[in-house]
Amino acid sequence: MDLEEAYQVVGEFGPYQKRAIAGLVLIQVYMACQSMLIVLVGAVPQYQVEQKDGGSSGQPELQSVSFTDDVDSIVTEWFLIKQQAYKVNLAGSLFFAGVLVGNVVFGPLSDKIGRKPVFLTGLFFEVLFGYATALAPSYEVFAVSRLLVGLMNGGIGLVCFVLTQEYVGKSYWAMTGTLTNMTFAVGIALFAALGYYIRPWRDLATAANSPGILFFLLCVTLPESPRWLYSRGQTERAEEVLRYMALRNGKTVTNLTLRRVGTGKPGNRDDRGTGVLQLVTHPVLRWRTMVLMYVWYACSLVYYGLTLGASETSGSRYVNVAMYGLVELPAYPLCIYFINKHWAGRRKSMASFLCLAGSACLCTTLVPENTGALLSVTSLALLGKLMVSAAFNIVYVYTSELYPTVIRNAGLGVCSMSCRVGGILAPFVPSMRALHSSMPFTVFCLSGLTAGCLGLLLPETLNRPAAETLEELSNPACSRVLESKVHLYKDDQWKSNHK
């Protein structure tokens, strides 16, 4: 039988898969805390610089710095003010630079040697480097530790997302992917609450990092992805994992034999060429990757650009950080509803949300500054962020379905790399106000609209079987045969259940 048929027998989302997915989804809370750590530990309090006479003539004046706010951060410990103030932003940039590299390195690595070993190794070292952050004796050690934490965070984030989908049947991919992204947003709000009650920055860094130990211990017992094993030609091991899932799901499986594929055979062309290079040389993958890279870039540019604009408000920094995550939550029920409807699907939903985000940014250029709270630049910017958050969630799920299993992590890694480029450029867009006050939102508008239109050129993946090998992607006949088998099997199951 085919892999999708096997999941129908084993259980697409049985009790065992629910427990495994719950652990992987909750890891997003830990990863969100690491991503947002610099926002609170790098808080800059109000301060005063007093000039003091050096005493005798010829000596330079001494400066005394006094912080007027009761804040314990890396700024107050290492006096990162004035000429040293750039070091706070540098630490944040180093983290996201590490995330970018981790996206590129860990994706192909997990496609080559397996999901589980790469994921557990990355999680172990992220926890280790996280404690190095909390115990850093100097700024230099702190900055290097943030780079290394970002490297691990970016890598395991991709592998964790892929595992939440490869453990279940394809019909549940949208749900597990949405839960993963939604939990990350909740993690941002929880980190704000943690920071409110734990003020010393070293204690906060330790508390935010410690749950990683628990998650590591929980994930040690997870099996390797049966989809990855199957795509690499390790059919016997894939069958063992599927039987184990069936047993834990309370199902008795007497005859579970997967159809042998040629991916793992020596001399197979697809096996030798699997990797990042295939994203360039394979004609189908090359086109999809080019479009997806721009879509990911635009999502990141608009998302982080609007976030920076919406967060420029007075008030408690903890409330602002919490709103940074909570404003995204309404987007996820919208995603789950639309992407599973046959008249919308992945492609149209993603394109529509991107165009709506661009339209909201366009409207901000037409609304006067001093308007009511219901219709203002801030409310339209938040509406745009809500829309682009929905698009961002869909593009994660959609991308994983557009790439075959043998190269899925490599594809996600390259797309995430372009995503980080958009995030790096986003802070520079507001400076375009020097040219015209409407320029930043014009950039976000054009980015959202063009990405939405380009996304319509991609194929729909709703209710279609996931490709496991490059051969299935290149040969439409293989996909049609697999799809017809899955539909026939589902019809037989429906008839047997309604007799």
Q: What is the pLDDT of residues 387-436, one digit of tens each?
A: 999 998 899 889 988 988 778 878 887 888 888 888 777 767 766 777 77
pLDDT at residue 50, rounded to an integer: 66
Residue 45 main-chain phi, psi, to 5 deg:
-80, 170
Average pLDDT over residues 13-26: 92
pLDDT at residue 52, rounded to an integer: 61
Q: Is residue 260 part of a domain?
A: no
Whether residues 362 and 407 share a domain: the answer is: yes
Predicted TM-score (pTM) of the model is 0.76
In this predicted structure, the answer to whether residue 213 has a pLDDT above a threshold of 80 is: yes
**pLDDT, tens digit (0-9, with 9 covering 90-100), for 347-402:** 999 999 999 999 998 988 887 765 555 567 777 877 888 899 999 889 988 998 89
Tokens coding 460 = 């729909």
Whether residues 287 and 236 share a domain: the answer is: no
Q: Is residue 55 part of a domain?
A: no
Q: Which amino acid is at 18?
A: K
Whether residues 177 and 311 share a domain: the answer is: no
Average model confidence (pLDDT) across the chain: 81
Least confident range from 45-49, 283-287, 367-371: namely: 367-371
* Residue 152 or residue 436, greater confidence: 152
Instruction: Please state the separation of Cα 118 from the chain's center in Å.
Output: 17
Average pLDDT over residues 55-81: 69
Average pLDDT over residues 132-156: 92
Distance CA 195, CA 41 (A): 9
Average pLDDT over residues 315-342: 81
Q: Is residue 40 part of a domain?
A: yes
Q: Is residue 419 part of a domain?
A: yes
Confidence of residue 220 (pLDDT cuts 50, 70, 90): very high
Q: Which domain holds residue 377?
A: 281-499
| CATH code for the domain of 323 | 1.20.1250.20
Whether residues 367 and 475 share a domain: the answer is: yes
Instruction: Please say which residue of 239, 254, 269 terminates a domain.
Output: 254
Least confident range from 127-141, 165-179, 358-372: namely: 358-372
What is the share, in percent, of the chain residues with pLDDT greater than 70? Answer: 82
Whether residues 290 and 225 share a domain: the answer is: no
Q: How many CA atoms lie within 13 A of 135 on its CB side?
A: 7
What is the share, in percent, of the chain residues with pLDDT greater than 90? Answer: 28
pLDDT at residue 488, rounded to an integer: 47
Exposed/middle/buried for residue 341 (C-beta within 10 Å: 0-12, 13-18, 19+): exposed
pLDDT at residue 496, rounded to an integer: 46
201 touches 41 (CB < 8 A): yes
Residue 185 β-bridge partners:
none
Whether residues 384 and 285 share a domain: the answer is: yes
In this predicted structure, the answer to whether residue 138 has a pLDDT above a threshold of 80 is: yes
* Residue 248 or residue 327, greater confidence: 248
Whether residues 120 and 25 share a domain: the answer is: yes
In this predicted structure, the answer to whether residue 498 has a pLDDT above a threshold of 50 is: no
pLDDT at residue 264, rounded to an integer: 43
**pLDDT, tens digit (0-9, with 9 covering 90-100), for 451-489:** 999 999 999 988 887 777 777 776 655 555 555 544 544
Average pLDDT over residues 300-304: 86
Distance CA 289, CA 295 (A): 10
pLDDT at residue 266, rounded to an integer: 36
pLDDT at residue 359, rounded to an integer: 93
Torsion angle, alpha carbons of 98, 101, 107, 108, to 10: -150
pLDDT at residue 479, rounded to an integer: 53
In this predicted structure, the answer to whether residue 338 has a pLDDT above a threshold of 50 is: yes
Confidence of residue 269 (pLDDT cuts 50, 70, 90): very low
Instruction: Please say which residue of 235, 254, 273 terminates a domain.
Output: 254
When divided into structural domains, the chain yields a total of 2
Whether residues 383 and 239 share a domain: the answer is: no
Distance CA 243, CA 374 (A): 56
Q: HEC states along the chain?
A: CCHHHHHHHHCCCCHHHHHHHHHHHHHHHHHHHHHHHHHHHCCCCCEEEEEECCCCCCCCCEEEEEECCCCCCHHHHHCCCHHHCHHHHHHHHHHHHHHHHHHHHHHHHHHHHCHHHHHHHHHHHHHHHHHHHHCCCCHHHHHHHHHHHHHHHHHHHHHHHHHHHHCCCHHHHHHHHHHHHHHHHHHHHHHHHHHHHCCCHHHHHHHHHCHHHHHHHHHCCCCCCHHHHHHCCCHHHHHHHHHHHHHHCCCCCCCCCCCCCCCCCCCCHHHHHCCCCHHHHCHHHHHHHHHHHHHHHHHHHHHHHHHHHHCCCCCCHHHHHHHHHHCCCCHHHHHHHHHCCCCCHHHHHHHHHHHHHHHHHHHHCCCCCCCCCCCCHHHHHHHHHHHHHHHHHHHHHHHHHHCCHHHHHHHHHHHHHHHHHHHHHHHHHHHHHHCCCCHHHHHHHHHHHHHHHHHCCCCCCCCCCCCCCHHHHHCHHHHHHHHHHHHHHHHHHHHHHCC
Q: How many CA atoms lie within 13 A of 324 on its CB side?
A: 29
Q: Is residue 3 part of a domain?
A: yes
Taking CA atoms, 224 is separated from 3, 42, 263, 422, in Å, by 15, 38, 18, 33
Q: Is residue 58 part of a domain?
A: no
Q: Is residue 264 part of a domain?
A: no
Over its C-alpha atoms, the chain yields an Rg (Å, rounded) of 25
Whether residues 237 and 297 share a domain: the answer is: no
Instruction: Please say which residue of 219, 254, 289 terminates a domain.
Output: 254
Distance CA 88, CA 143 (A): 9
Within the chain, what is the greatest distance between any pair of CA atoms?
102
Other CB atoms within 10 A of residue 171 CB: 17
pLDDT at residue 141, rounded to an integer: 94
Confidence of residue 494 (pLDDT cuts 50, 70, 90): very low
Whether residues 476 and 428 share a domain: the answer is: yes
Whether residues 145 and 183 share a domain: the answer is: yes
Q: Is residue 107 part of a domain?
A: yes
195 touches 211 (CB < 8 A): no
Which residues make Cβ contacts (< 8 Å) with residue 129, sequence separation at least 6? 145, 148, 149, 152
Whether residues 222 and 287 share a domain: the answer is: no
Other CB atoms within 10 A of residue 28 CB: 24
Taking CA atoms, 462 is separated from 19, 171, 347, 409, in Å, by 25, 8, 9, 20
pLDDT at residue 208, rounded to an integer: 94
pLDDT at residue 284, rounded to an integer: 86
